[in-house]
Amino acid sequence: NAQTQAWQQLDAAHHLHPFTDNGALNAKGSRVISHADGVYIHTPEGDAILDGMAGLWCVNMGYGRTELVQAATEQLNTLPYYNLFFQCTHPPATELAAQLTSLLPDHLNRVFFTGSGSECNDTVVRMVRHYWASQGQPKRKAIISRHNAYHGSTMAGASLGGMKPMHAQGGLPIPDIHHIDQPYHFGEGQGMDANEFGLERARQLEAKILELGPENVAAFIGEPVQGAGGVIIPPETYWPEVQRICRQYDILLISDEVICGFGRLGHWLGCEHFGVKPDLVCMAKGITSGYVPLGAVAVGDRVAQGLLDNGGDFNHGFTYSGHPVACAVASANLKLMADEKVLERINEHTAPYLQRRWAELADHPLVGEARGLGMVAALELVADKASGKRFDENVGAGTVCRDFCIESGLVMRAVGDTMIISPPLIITEAEIDELIARARRSLDLTWQKLVG
Ligand code: PLP
């Protein structure tokens, strides 16, 4: 198609893609996605690809939702922009703040808006330090996160994240950010009882707090289930122990819900699944189903009260904090989720069905583990099923499988040799059947190429 080639040439000449080897991409030509509906993205040539990742874990209500388009259009016509700085507000932001807090656990009663997940994580770094200073404890600056976590691409977000290749580019992390190991049982705890392993990993937090001195530690941050790290579902013992440790040493707990929030784990917040009560919560992505950029930090009563009583100005904010169009779309998105009873549908039907069908893939010779929770799932590719031995790194088994997925009409992401999915929450059972069939076909092709 001449038009597609023209786009590819323009792309190669003028565009630098995020998280992409741009040189290699230009040699190959980028994949053009021109339109989308429901759970499918389409190429200009008319190929329909089942989007098993909901874009970047965000298009929760699926593509082509006219309700969201209408909300954006109406807001663009009424008040396309105004800011929330200097004592101003506007109806979409105030209404969304109230709507959000009514859905969240009782102690989360205030919201600070940003434009993205990364900006949320920069915001919490500054907010917890500001909070502790307001409480007469300015030394409490250290924030503890986890290796292999992803918390965004800004300087603070990437520092909180524990991705080695990101740290290597740009001299990160910034000072006073520390990392402990992730609760990755398949990858790092094989041979150990899962719950024992969960406790052991949680107790690394205690060891780190003691090493730094509790009087220097501001907060711990983690995703309920690490998404981009490879859908790392912690053992049941992990989060309760983390919460106990935070309480014992009076460390603030931050839940990064950028992926896990808004239904991904079957709750408004993923931390609810694990019975965790965070002091601060970072949200983005699914808040608008990805239709427009928006982030929000929900602030618990303790921190909010401290800032209101003693904080003075919080010298922080973004031009697009609480952009009216984004807030209007988020409100419409949350209403749509409620009207269509999405959480009920996921919990009663879609998630159990997805997980049951996904678990069937465990019989494949290439699969060392098939795991999942709610509407995320992962497969661990192994060279030898009996021993769980991995492929050599330079084989790139995950990349091979990912490419066969695309060829088979499915977007599945590879994190090393871990294959992951996070489909739109509105996916039907018939579409799940199709997803599984395409995933199995891709596994077969990968097996044939690498082993058979
Ligand atoms: N936090 C988590 C857990 C994420 O997965 C992401 C993005 O994938 C971010 C933060 C960063 O969000 P954004 O890309 O909107 O800046």
Task: Calculate mean pLDDT across residues 243-255.
Answer: 98
Residue of 121, 150, 376 with the most ligand 1 atoms within 8 Å of its CB, for mutation: 150
116 lines ligand 1 (CB under 6 A): yes
pLDDT class of 335 with cuts at 50, 70, 90: very high
ipTM of the complex: 0.99
Q: Does 3.90.1150.10 match the CATH number of domain 33-61+341-450? A: yes
- Determine the CATH number of domain 67-339: 3.40.640.10
Tell me: the pLDDT tens digits for 200-229?
999 999 999 999 999 999 999 999 999 999
d(CA 310, CA 106): 23
CA of 259 to the centre of ligand 1 (A): 7
Instruction: Return phi, psi of residue 150, to 5°.
Output: -120, 120
Which DSSP string corresponds to 12-26? Answer: HHH---TTS-HHHHH
pLDDT at 311 over 90: no
Domains of the chain by residue range: 33-61+341-450, 67-339
| Strand 217-222 relative to strand 177-180, pairing | unpaired
Ligand 1, from 59, 118, 119: best to mutate by most atoms within 8 Å of Cβ? Answer: 118
Q: Which of 8, 252, 305 is nearest to 126 (CA)?
A: 252
Confidence of residue 149 (pLDDT cuts 50, 70, 90): very high
For ligand 1, say whether the CB of 146 is within 6 Å of any of its atoms.
Answer: no
Q: Are the C-beta atoms of residues 236 and 273 closer than 8 Å to each other?
A: no
SS3 342: helix
Residue 95 has a CB neighbour count (10 Å cut-off) of: 14
Percent of the chain surpassing pLDDT 90? 96
Query: Quick one: which atom of ligand 1 is closest to the CA of 293?
Result: 15
Q: What is the pLDDT of residue 452?
A: 84
12 CB-near residues (< 8 Å, 6+ apart): 25, 26, 29, 30
Residue with tokens 């209500």, as numbered in its chain: 61
pLDDT of residue 446 exceeding 90, the answer is: yes
Among protein residues, the one whose CA lies closest to atom 1 of ligand 1: 151
Average pLDDT over the chain, rounded to an integer: 97
Do residues 328 and 97 lie in contact, with contact meaning Cβ atoms separated by under 8 Å? no
Backbone angles phi, psi at 163, to 5 degrees: -85, 115
For residue 318 and ligand 1, the question of a CB distance below 6 A is answered with no
Residue nearest ligand 1's atom 10 by CA: 151
Q: Decide: 228 in ligand 1 pocket, CB within 6 A.
A: yes
What whole-number distance in Å separates Cα of residue 297 and Cα of residue 152? 14
Residue 146 CA from chain centroid, whole number? 15
For ligand 1, whether the C-beta of 256 sits within 6 Å is yes
In whole angstroms, give the CA distance from residue 62 to residue 52.
11
DSSP code string of 179-217 = EE----HHHH-TTS-HHHHHHHHHHHHHHHHHHH-GGGE
Q: Tokens 């909180």 sit at which residue?
A: 160
Cis status of the peptide bond prior to 173, with omega within 30 of 0: yes
Residue 164 has pLDDT above 90, yes or no: yes
Closest ligand 1 atom to Cα of 227: 5
Please give the Cα distance from 111 to 116 (Å, whole number). 14
